[in-house]
Amino acid sequence: MNNLILYCRSGYEKDCAAEIQQRAQEVDVAGFVKTNRDDAYVVYQTFEENGAEVLLEKLPLTSLIFARQMFAAGELLSGLPEGDRVTPIVAALSDVQRAGEIRVETPDTNKAKELSGFCRKLTVPLRQGLRKAGILLAKENPKRPIIHVCFVAPGKAYAGYSLSYNTSPHFMGIPRLKFPSDAPSRSTLKLDEAFGQFLTSQEQEERLCSGMNSVDLGACPGGWTYQLVKRGMFVAAVDNGPMEQKLMDTGQVKHYRADGFKFEPPRKNIYWLVCDMVEKPSRVAELMEYWAIQGWYREAIFNLKLPMKSRYKEVSQILSTMSEILKENQVKDFKIQCKHLYHDRDEVTVHLWLNPNQGI
Ligand SMILES: C[S@@+](CC[C@H](N)C(=O)[O-])C[C@H]1O[C@@H](n2cnc3c(N)ncnc32)[C@H](O)[C@@H]1O
């Protein structure tokens, strides 16, 4: 298969395209990008017949900032007959064997989502057709490839697969999180999603523990603090604004009316630092670097507000400068991940883990 389909937020196609172009080049898979503004997906067409499959093996989805999901596909199937869409889709997937799951999806746009009812209905006969052809196993299997059929318009779809160990576990690459009715702000979902994105469930159990100390810079009204409190942590919440009273009543939060850029942690055993201050991204990155060099935390999650143009270039520059500065300052062992989360708008979320090879 020679098309790599990548889902992204509508309006971010250029950034997703710039990223895949560069990353595919780094692993020597030549090709070109096809994309349209606001389509919420990008196609990277490789010159080699199996180029998309090579990319699935060589590029971890977790290392891509703007892609929510990716899968290898053949040519766009167009003019799928209304009476029988199953036969041509099954034929297009004849090279796939014993897949473990099927997802009939659309890109994340209002227009494409009008097709989601149709996609749900198609899933049943398509599943049967694929099973009969031996393309899909009779029982779901999380260790086998996932078949994706993505309807980009009525009668037009890309059909292909992703690898079980390099895929988003979520339909359309979008985690369905429930907004907790007692949370003080919707941005609480950003931190909840970030924990799910950057840590496996087992890692969450080990590293988001009751009794840990944390700092939340730019905390008000408390959506991120809420997530830390919910996990049993103590939080130093730094912001000049008001914190929600219910959070203060838990006794787990101390509110510091201070400038997050000047604040110093009151205790030296902070595990989590989180930061959602609306500021220039380079300034936030410098602050995270400074705290890391001081050894003031073990793990941080912070947002970088995106500029209007060259968003991929700017973010990758900030992240590579961050790596250089940490290394120059003897912080040698660290891991950086960055994702444009579903609940992020014009910002990306970064996870910086210091000394990942030491125990907690
Ligand atoms: C996007 S809001 C944070 C929302 C919060 N994470 C939540 O979930 O409720 C940004 C916050 O950063 C705070 N802020 C901006 N600059 C700051 C600074 N220099 N020091 C402390 N807080 C700052 C603002 O007062 C504002 O409350």
Q: Whose CA is nearest to atom 24 of ligand 1?
A: 218
Distance from the CA of 278 to the center of ligand 1, in angstroms? 6
Q: Ligand 1 atom closest to Cα of 186?
A: 8
First to last CA, the chain: 43
Q: What tens digit of pLDDT does each residue of 298-350 get?
A: 999 999 999 788 899 999 999 999 999 999 999 989 999 999 999 999 999 99
Pick the catalytic residue: 111, 113, 254, 305?
305
- pLDDT confidence of 3, banded at 50, 70, 90? very high
Tell me, letter by letter, the H, E, C secondary structure of the chain: CCEEEEECCCCCHHHHHHHHHHHHHHCCCCEEEEECCCCCEEEEEECCCCHHHHHHHHCCHHHCCCCCEEEEECCCECCCCCCCCHHHHHHHCCCCCCECEEEEECCCCHHHHCCHHHHHHHHHHHHHHHHHCCCECCCCCCCCCEEEEEEEECCEEEEEEEECCECCCCHHHCCCCCCCCCCCCCCHHHHHHHHHHHCCHHHHHHHCCCCCEEEEECCCCCHHHHHHHHCCCEEEEECCCCCCHHHHCCCCEEEECCCCCCCCCCCCCEEEEEECCCCCHHHHHHHHHHHHHHCCCCEEEEEEECCCCCHHHHHHHHHHHHHHHHHHCCCCCEEEEEECCCCCCCEEEEEEEECCCCCC
Task: Please indicate whether residue 278, judged by its CB atom, sits closer than 6 Å to ligand 1.
Answer: yes
Which residues, listed in sequence order, are joined to residue 256 by a DSSP beta bridge? 238
Distance from the CA of 276 to the center of ligand 1, in angstroms? 6
Instruction: Give which of 207, 209, 204, 206 is closest to 193, Cα–Cα.
Output: 204
Q: What is the chain's mean pLDDT, rounded?
A: 97
Residue 177 has pLDDT above 90, yes or no: yes
Q: Ligand 1 atom closest to Cα of 224?
A: 8
How, if at all, do strands 41-46 and 31-35 pair?
Answer: antiparallel
- pLDDT confidence of 359, banded at 50, 70, 90? confident
Active site residue 305: yes
Contacts of 78 (CB under 8 A, 6+ apart): 155, 156
> What is the percentage of the chain residues whose pLDDT exceeds 90?
96
Q: Whose CA is nearest to atom 23 of ligand 1?
A: 218
Distance from the CA of 224 to the center of ligand 1, in angstroms? 10
Q: What tens digit of pLDDT does each residue of 208-218 get?
A: 999 999 999 99
Q: Which domains does the chain have, with CATH numbers?
A: 3-172 (3.30.2300.20), 188-354 (3.40.50.150)
The encoded tokens of residue 302 equal 């912070």
The encoded tokens of residue 57 equal 């093996």
The encoded tokens of residue 79 equal 């003019």
| Residue 11 confidence (pLDDT) | 96
| Residue 332 confidence (pLDDT) | 87
Distance from the CA of 219 to the center of ligand 1, in angstroms? 5
Count other C-beta atoms under 10 Å from residue 131's C-beta.
Answer: 16
How, if at all, do strands 234-238 and 213-217 pair?
Answer: parallel
* Cα–Cα dist 61/68, whole Å: 8
Residue 2 has pLDDT above 90, yes or no: yes
Long-range contacts of the stretch 255-260 (C-beta < 8 A, 24+): 255/219, 260/217, 260/218, 260/287
- pLDDT confidence of 158, banded at 50, 70, 90? very high
Task: Please indicate whether residue 183, judged by its CB atom, sits closer than 6 Å to ligand 1.
Answer: no
Q: What tens digit of pLDDT does each residue of 57-93 get?
A: 999 999 999 999 999 999 999 999 999 999 999 999 9
* Cα–Cα dist 303/128, whole Å: 44
How, if at all, do strands 270-275 and 213-217 pair?
Answer: parallel
Task: Please indicate whether residue 160, judged by its CB atom, sits closer than 6 Å to ligand 1.
Answer: no
Cα 136–120–59 angle (5° rounding)? 55
Residue located via tokens 């149709």 = 118
